[in-house]
């Protein structure tokens, strides 16, 4: 195959590093190694039974054919209700899109709007896919480096420096992957009141972890907090995380009609509708009782507390206390420059994570994958027993560095 057969567009992007860690851990496990995988961004809970039953019923009822490209009307109505009930946002069916995961929704939105050279502001650390999705659309990711002292959140001052006439979008992700940080209503108000001054700047609000928050944190969506922004905001959400439905591939968004229409056009020329059966399952998820979410969140909270205590007790590691999602993002800065038992110097977060995998059999994701060196991400969506074991192993491995 000639070198230039694969497009420049594709050669310019990289595969998802979180998926790469997960598959490396899986591969090592399959070879018989004792590996604990804390790399994956998915809950370990099973999809609730009532949702599974709705999917089985959809199959039995013959709901197995093509559907409207960007979602069946019943699901769109359930999404409209969700946005109204949870976020005080009113959308009509033509302002709602259903796609194959939050990922496709974000991908479609960027493809639908970015011209070559348009800039997208991405606060770092960021979810791994944002920059590559922007590059695939021939846009330019512009990173705002946040600080651990500010809980990895951006401020108006930072935006003042980052916005240019070429800025098309800014991405806000709260609760955040990888840090678990959450923007308060006041913080969103400040940011939103500044952003509303820019006529041609749109906001991608990735709220996929909305339902996973702790200690009475009250989630706000930016389009709700600053209503003037609603016409310029795509509010993205999905069933993957809160409903333990990562494999079902249903994400959705509410936003301006022109954008939603353009996104549907792309979807009509790529995947067409998301799986019909999954759409009926998502309809059940959004229309029935959410009581199990409280139970899941209390389990996540116990795990978060446990892993934070353990990680913060390890010399050389320290971590903020996040209020959402199921990740922590500890600093390994104090271990950089130290030597492993085989005399290899830990130069950065990738070296550290490689060391943890080889020495401790624990798979975590280096901060550089999220655009921030000398940190790493732990997903605590696994049992307390496994987390305890992982922390013990990390502790022993860190003690061997000198």
Where do contacts with ligand PLP occur on this chain (CB under 6 A)? 41, 101-103, 127, 173, 177, 206, 208, 238, 240, 246, 251
Nearest distance, CB of residue 339 and ligand PLP, angstroms: 34
By C-beta, is 39 or 41 nearer to ligand PLP? 41
Which residue, 369 or 398, is less far from ligand PLP as judged by CB?
369
CB of 133 to ligand PLP, least distance (A): 10
Give the residue with the Cβ less far from ligand PLP, 175 or 361: 175
CB of 60 to ligand PLP, least distance (A): 26
Buried b (16+ CB within 10 A) or exposed e, 257-267: eebbebbbebb
Range 191-200 contact pairs with CB under 8 angstroms and sequence separation of 24 or more: 191/154, 191/155, 191/156, 191/159, 191/222, 192/222, 192/225, 192/226, 192/229, 193/226, 194/156, 194/159, 194/160, 195/159, 195/170, 195/226, 195/229, 196/226, 196/228, 196/229, 196/232, 198/163, 198/167, 200/168
User: Judged by CB, which is closer to ligand PLP: 133, or 391?
Assistant: 133
- The half-sphere exposure of 279 on its side-chain side, counting CA atoms within 13 A, is 25
Residue nearest ligand PLP by beta-carbon distance: 101
Taking alpha carbons only, the member of 258, 211, 220 closest to residue 238 is 211
C-alpha span between 168 and 132 (Å, rounded): 16
For the CB of residue 213, give the shortest distance to ligand PLP in the complex, in Å: 14
The CA distance from 304 to 322, in Å, is: 8
Tell me the Ramachandran region of residue 65: left when phi exceeds 0, alpha when psi lies from -120 to 50, beta otherwise: beta
CB of 52 to ligand PLP, least distance (A): 18
**Cβ-based nearer residue to ligand PLP, 193 or 246:** 246
Give the start-end residues of each E strand in 4-64.
Answer: 36-37
Least distance from C-beta 278 to ligand PLP, angstroms? Answer: 11
Query: In the complex, what is the shortest distance from the CB of residue 177 to ligand PLP, in angstroms, rounded to a whole number?
Result: 4
Q: How many residues does the chain have?
A: 402
Residue whose CB is less far from ligand PLP, 73 or 247 = 247
Nearest to 267 by CA among 281, 277, 285, 253: 253
Largest CA distance in the chain: 64
Rounded to the nearest 5 percent, the helix, strand and coil shares of the chain are 45, 15, 40
Q: How far is the CB of 258 from ligand PLP (least distance, A)?
A: 23
Nearest CB to ligand PLP, comparing residues 245 and 336: 245
Select 167 or 237, whichever has its Cβ closest to ligand PLP. 237
């Amino acid at each position: 195959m000639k070198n230039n057969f694969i497009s420049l567009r594709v050669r310019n992007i990289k595969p998802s590093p979180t998926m790469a860690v997960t598959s490396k851990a899986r591969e090592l496990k399959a070879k018989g190694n004792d590996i604990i995988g804390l790399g994956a961004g998915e809950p370990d809970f099973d999809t609730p039974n009532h949702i599974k039953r709705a999917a089985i019923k959809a199959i039995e009822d013959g709901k197995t054919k093509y559907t409207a490209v960007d979602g069946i009307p019943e699901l769109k109505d359930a999404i409209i209700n969700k946005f109204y009930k949870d976020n005080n946002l009113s959308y009509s069916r033509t302002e709602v899109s259903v796609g194959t995961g939050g990922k496709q929704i974000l991908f479609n939105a960027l493809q639908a709007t970015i011209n070559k050279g348009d800039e997208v502001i991405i606060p770092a650390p960021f979810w791994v896919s944002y920059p590559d999705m922007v590059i695939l659309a021939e846009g330019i990711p512009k990173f705002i480096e946040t600080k651990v002292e500010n809980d990895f959140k951006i401020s108006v001052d930072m935006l003042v420096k980052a916005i240019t006439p070429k800025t098309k979008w800014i991405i806000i992700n709260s609760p955040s992957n990888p840090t678990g940080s959450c923007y308060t209503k006041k913080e969103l108000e400040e940011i939103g009141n500044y952003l509303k001054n820019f006529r041609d700047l749109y906001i991608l609000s990735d709220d996929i972890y909305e339902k996973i928050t702790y200690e009475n944190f009250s989630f706000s969506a930016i389009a709700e907090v600053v209503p003037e922004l609603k016409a310029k905001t795509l509010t993205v959400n999905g069933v993957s995380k809160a409903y333990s439905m990562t494999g079902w591939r249903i994400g959705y968004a509410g936003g301006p009609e022109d954008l939603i229409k353009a996104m549907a056009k792309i979807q009509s020329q790529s995947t067409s509708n998301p799986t019909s059966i999954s759409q009926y399952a998502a309809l059940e998820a959004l229309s029935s009782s959410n009581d199990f979410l409280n139970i899941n969140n209390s389990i996540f909270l116990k795990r978060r507390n446990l892993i934070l205590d353990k990680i913060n007790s390890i010399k050389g590691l320290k971590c903020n206390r996040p209020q959402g999602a199921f990740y922590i993002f500890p600093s390994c800065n104090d271990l950089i420059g130290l030597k492993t038992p085989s005399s290899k110097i830990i130069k950065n977060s990738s070296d550290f994570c490689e060391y943890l995998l080889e020495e401790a059999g624990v798979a975590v994701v280096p901060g550089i994958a999220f655009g921030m060196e000398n940190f790493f991400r732990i997903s605590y969506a696994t049992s307390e027993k496994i987390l305890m074991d992982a922390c013990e192993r990390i502790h022993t491995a860190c003690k061997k560095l000198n």
